[in-house]
């Protein structure tokens, strides 16, 4: 029935050549849970601004992200490729040049393309600007850490957004509206990314931020109407991932792959005068969004796109994953497969849930459904085998050659040596809590407490690379350079593509008087972040001592 209605839509919108293509506006509200919108049944607050995007549109009730992290999820959405295949599985990785993106395809078909970014994790340096004529991102960080998914200035602070990780939603939407006005009357693709709902919250918690974003996007929709764009545009409202608010003892996102962080809103407003389904219950993935838009616009899907249009089939499998705890701590990855009401979770202790009966994923039924679980596991492995990883970029290969020449090893997409315990994340929650508590203590200036917590954590989990790097960094701050070197050397060996680990190890060597070794080490770090001024200054100082 839904497909029939959508086919009626396709017949009702005559796309007479490229120039007749309707405007396409894609809005991604970072960290927005679907089940906190009124349109999805939430009752604690109302969200009229966001719900308004369903006017003359379709609400997809069961849309999932492919990974609960900002850059990897948007990369999967924009390139219609799986994170394990495109190699972007952490926030601080760079999308390789030459990627085929939705923006690039639309530009090749006559569209003007513009992006308006609210977070440093999608800044131009990350590579998702490919295909955009105009990419408005005022963040310019120079050093990146796939190990922790963090970004660093590494140099001088300049500009009003220097040192910030976000800009407020009204600034983003204002820039987008200005560009839309300048290009009104032309086929346009505008991508708008808002980051206000991401921690740390500034407006009374998660729902306070939601109410703020609801107001901003409600006003944005009204302005589209006054400009004459709303009625004739395809407008998509979605998110890159959700946010765990205590489910399964997770209080953010990226650790587990439960629906609290994978389930996202997806609402598509269609141009006026068409027949459309008001609600679609079938599970869909964000990887399928770009093929759906191209299908609607009657533009051929690139061969690199792994997703399939929502119009093509009524039943599909939806993949999800997170490898962040593996890259950071050496613990096991989590991969999921959803089909119909069932969701299989692959980990050392696998899980199977009936989401219709158990939406909170509280009752693991795998012992009673072994045949179903085995079949879904086989489907998952087939999906992984079918979508091969892309070749490593030449720059990455050069870094690996350099690091290997120094006796380091480099494996895995984040450049970490995955030699940890491979423990199930459910069993490592106490250690994860210890790490989070230590990071919080550092942020509050309780340095010695953080040291004690990190030492305790490493005693229980010696292969925890991120905790070891952070402990070494803390010892540097305390001017305990011998202890800093002990931990940072191990971290640098375990994470050879991680700029902070390499740079901090160089600082430890320098402060211990090992100038020659420090010079070599800073050379490694500077190759990982060529624009990091702090690293270049260290090299110059050691090369030209006073």
Task: Please enumerate in sequence order all residues whose Cβ is within 8 A of that of 4, keeping only pairs 6 or more positions apart, or say none.
Answer: none
Rounded to an integer, what is the distance from CA 483 to the centroid of its chain?
A: 34
Mean pLDDT, the chain, whole residue set: 90
What does the buried/exposed string (b/e) look like for 466-489 if buried means 16 or more CB atoms within 10 Å of the residue's CB? Answer: bbbbbbbbbbbeeebbebbbebbb
Does the pLDDT of residue 420 top 50, yes or no? no
Q: What is the pLDDT of residue 388?
A: 82
Task: Please enumerate in sequence order all residues whose Cβ is within 8 A of that of 385, keeping only pairs 6 or more positions apart, or say none.
Answer: none
CA nearest 496: which of 395, 404, 393? 404
Rounded to an integer, what is the distance from CA 47 to the centroid of its chain?
A: 24
What does the buried/exposed string (b/e) look like for 266-280 if buried means 16 or more CB atoms within 10 Å of the residue's CB? Answer: bbbbbbeeeebbeeb
Q: What is the pLDDT of residue 528?
A: 92
How do residues 477-495 score in pLDDT, each as one tens digit?
Answer: 999 999 999 999 999 999 9
CA 75-399-333 angle, 5° bins = 45
Residue 114 DSSP SS3? strand
Q: What is the pLDDT of residue 17?
A: 39
* Sequential DSSP letters for 252-264: SSSS--SHHHHEE
CA distance 145 to 362: 34
Does the pLDDT of residue 254 top 70, yes or no? yes
CA nearest 266: which of 2, 37, 10? 37
CATH 3.50.4.10 describes domain 334-386 = no
As a three-state string, the secondary structure of 23-80 is CEEEEEECCCCHHHCHHHCCCCCCCHHHHHHHCCEEEEEEEECCCCCHHHHHHHHHHC
Summarize the confidence of residues 194-208 as an average pLDDT. 93
Given 3-state DSSP classes, what are the helix, strand and coil percentages for the chain, each rounded to the nearest 5? Answer: 45, 15, 45
Domain extent listing, the chain: 23-311, 334-386, 397-543
The two three-digit tokens of residue 318, written as one number: 């939806």
Does the pLDDT of residue 323 top 70, yes or no? yes
Peptide bond into 200 cis (omega under 30): yes
Domain 23-311 class, CATH top level: alpha beta
CA 377-379-381 angle, 5° bins = 70
Backbone φ/ψ region at 80: left (φ over 0), alpha (ψ -120 to 50), beta = left
CA 49-264-414 angle, 5° bins = 130
pTM of the model: 0.91
Measured CA to CA in angstroms, residue 429 lies from 255, 361, 424, 433 at distances of: 10, 17, 9, 6
CA distance 86 to 390: 6
Measured CA to CA in angstroms, residue 202 lies from 105, 167, 216, 242, 299 at distances of: 38, 13, 15, 18, 42
How do residues 69-94 score in pLDDT, each as one tens digit?
Answer: 999 999 999 999 999 999 999 999 99
Q: What is the pLDDT of residue 164?
A: 77
What is the percent of the chain where pLDDT is above 70?
88
CB atoms within 10 A of CB 398: 11
CA nearest 257: which of 347, 340, 320, 316? 320
How do residues 144-184 score in pLDDT, each as one tens digit?
Answer: 898 999 888 665 555 666 667 899 999 999 999 999 999 99
CA distance 142 to 209: 29
Q: What is the pLDDT of residue 151?
A: 85
Summarize the confidence of residues 114-123 as an average pLDDT. 96
As a three-state string, the secondary structure of 417-444 is CCCCCCCCCCCCHHHHHHHHHHHHHHHC
CA distance 483 to 156: 29
Helix axes 447-460, 429-443, angle to 10 degrees: 160
* Sequential DSSP letters for 223-279: HHHHTT-TTT-EEEEE-S----SSGGG--SSSS--SHHHHEEEEEEEPPSS----SE
Residue 333 DSSP SS3? coil
| Element of type H or E holding 102 | helix 102-108
Least confident window among 378-382, 405-409, 419-423 = 405-409
Residue 484 DSSP SS3? helix
Q: What is the pLDDT of residue 475?
A: 98
CA nearest 148: which of 407, 494, 526, 486? 494
How do residues 3-60 score in pLDDT, each as one tens digit?
Answer: 333 333 333 333 333 445 999 999 999 999 999 999 999 999 999 999 999 999 999 9
CA-derived radius of gyration, the chain: 24
Backbone φ/ψ region at 256: left (φ over 0), alpha (ψ -120 to 50), beta = beta
Q: What is the pLDDT of residue 214?
A: 98
- Report the CATH superfamily, name and number, of domain 397-543: Tetratricopeptide repeat domain (1.25.40.10)
Backbone angles phi, psi at 120, to 5 degrees: -65, -25
């Amino acid at each position: 029935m839904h497909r029939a209605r959508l086919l009626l839509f396709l017949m009702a919108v005559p796309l007479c050549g490229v120039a007749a293509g309707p405007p396409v506006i894609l809005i991604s509200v970072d960290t927005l849970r679907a089940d906190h919108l009124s349109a999805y049944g939430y009752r604690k607050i109302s969200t009229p601004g966001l719900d308004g995007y369903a006017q003359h549109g379709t609400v997809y009730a069961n849309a999932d992200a492919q990974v609960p992290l900002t850059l990897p999820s948007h990369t999967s959405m924009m390139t219609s490729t799986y994170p394990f295949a495109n190699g972007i599985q952490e926030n601080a990785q760079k999308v390789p040049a030459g990627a085929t993106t939705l923006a690039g395809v639309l530009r090749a078909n006559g569209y003007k393309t513009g992006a308006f970014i609210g977070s440093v994790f999608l800044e131009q340096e990350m590579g998702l600007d490919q295909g955009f004529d105009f990419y408005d991102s005022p963040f310019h960080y120079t050093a990146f850490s796939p190990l922790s998914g963090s970004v660093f200035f590494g140099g001088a602070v300049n500009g009003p957004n220097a040192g910030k990780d976000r800009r407020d939603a009204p600034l983003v939407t204002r820039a987008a509206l200005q560009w839309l006005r300048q290009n009104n009357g032309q086929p346009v693709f505008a991508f708008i990314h808002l980051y206000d709902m991401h921690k740390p919250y500034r407006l009374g918690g998660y729902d306070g931020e939601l109410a703020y974003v609801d107001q901003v996007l409600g006003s944005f929709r009204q302005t589209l109407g006054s400009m004459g764009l709303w009625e004739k545009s395809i407008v998509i409202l979605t998110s890159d991932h959700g946010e765990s608010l205590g489910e399964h003892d997770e209080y953010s996102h990226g650790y587990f792959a439960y629906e609290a962080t994978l389930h996202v809103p997806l609402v598509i407003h269609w141009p006026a005068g068409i027949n459309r389904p008001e609600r679609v219950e079938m599970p869909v993935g964000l990887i399928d969004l770009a093929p759906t838009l191209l299908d609607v616009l009657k533009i051929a899907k690139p061969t690199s796109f792994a997703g399939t249009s929502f119009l093509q089939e009524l039943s599909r499998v939806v993949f999800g994953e997170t490898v962040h705890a593996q890259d950071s701590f050496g613990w096991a990855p989590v991969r999921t497969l959803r089909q119909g009401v069932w969701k299989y979770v692959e980990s050392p202790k696998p899980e199977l849930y009936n989401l219709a009966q158990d939406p909170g994923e509280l009752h693991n039924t795998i012992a009673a459904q072994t045949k179903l679980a085995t079949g879904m596991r086989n489907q998952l492995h087939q999906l992984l085998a079918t979508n091969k990883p892309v070749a490593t970029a030449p720059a990455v290969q050069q870094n690996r050659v350099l690091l290997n020449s120094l006796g380091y090893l480099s494996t895995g997409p984040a450049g970490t040596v995955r030699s940890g315990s491979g423990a199930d994340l459910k069993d490592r929650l106490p250690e994860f809590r210890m790490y989070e508590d230590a990071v919080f203590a550092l942020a509050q200036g309780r340095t010695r407490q953080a040291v004690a917590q990190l030492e305790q954590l490493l005693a229980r989990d010696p292969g925890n690379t991120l905790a070891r790097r952070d402990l070494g960094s803390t010892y540097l701050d305390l001017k305990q350079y011998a202890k800093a070197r002990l931990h940072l050397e191990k971290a640098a060996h375990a994470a050879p593509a991680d700029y902070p680990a390499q740079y901090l190890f160089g600082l430890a060597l320098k402060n211990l008087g090992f100038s020659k070794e420090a010079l070599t080490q800073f050379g490694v770090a500077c190759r990982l972040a060529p624009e990091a001024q702090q690293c270049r200054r260290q090299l110059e100082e050691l090369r030209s001592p006073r």
